[in-house]
Amino acid sequence: MRIKPTPPTLREKRRYLLIRNAKWKEVVTAMKKEFGDVYTAVSGLQKIEEGEDYTVARVSRDFDWMVRAAIASYSFEKPVWVERESGTLKRLRSKSRQLSNGGNNI
């Protein structure tokens, strides 16, 4: 028996966020403090890559605004912002200078 592929209408659409000056745990803490555990889980927030001064996160397309709002409203020790958002990791890396040159600082 062959399994049919998932039609595009049922596929989960994802967005990738490049978050500057934040560690992964700080991003998750901000999301949980602002919107709670349920919305953090529903948003599908996952870590893709983490460096010294950046984090790449994957989130469901319908909840990308929620992650941006949590980062904007939470009080971090230093300024934290979403530098870039993209639908694919390849595009995110090609548009970000730091990620495209192997993670070296700009």
Domain membership of residue 94 (yes or no) is no
pTM of the model: 0.83
Domain membership of residue 68 (yes or no) is yes
pLDDT for 98 equals 62
Give the CATH number, domain containing residue 22: 3.30.70.3250
Domain membership of residue 1 (yes or no) is no
Q: How does pLDDT run across 70-93, given as a tens digit for each residue?
A: 999 999 999 999 999 999 999 999
- Domain count for the chain, please give it: 1
Domain membership of residue 44 (yes or no) is yes
Q: Determine phi and psi for 75, rounding to 5 degrees.
A: -95, 105
Domain residue limits at 75: 14-83
Q: How does pLDDT run across 27-64, given as a tens digit for each residue?
A: 999 999 999 999 999 999 999 999 999 999 999 999 99
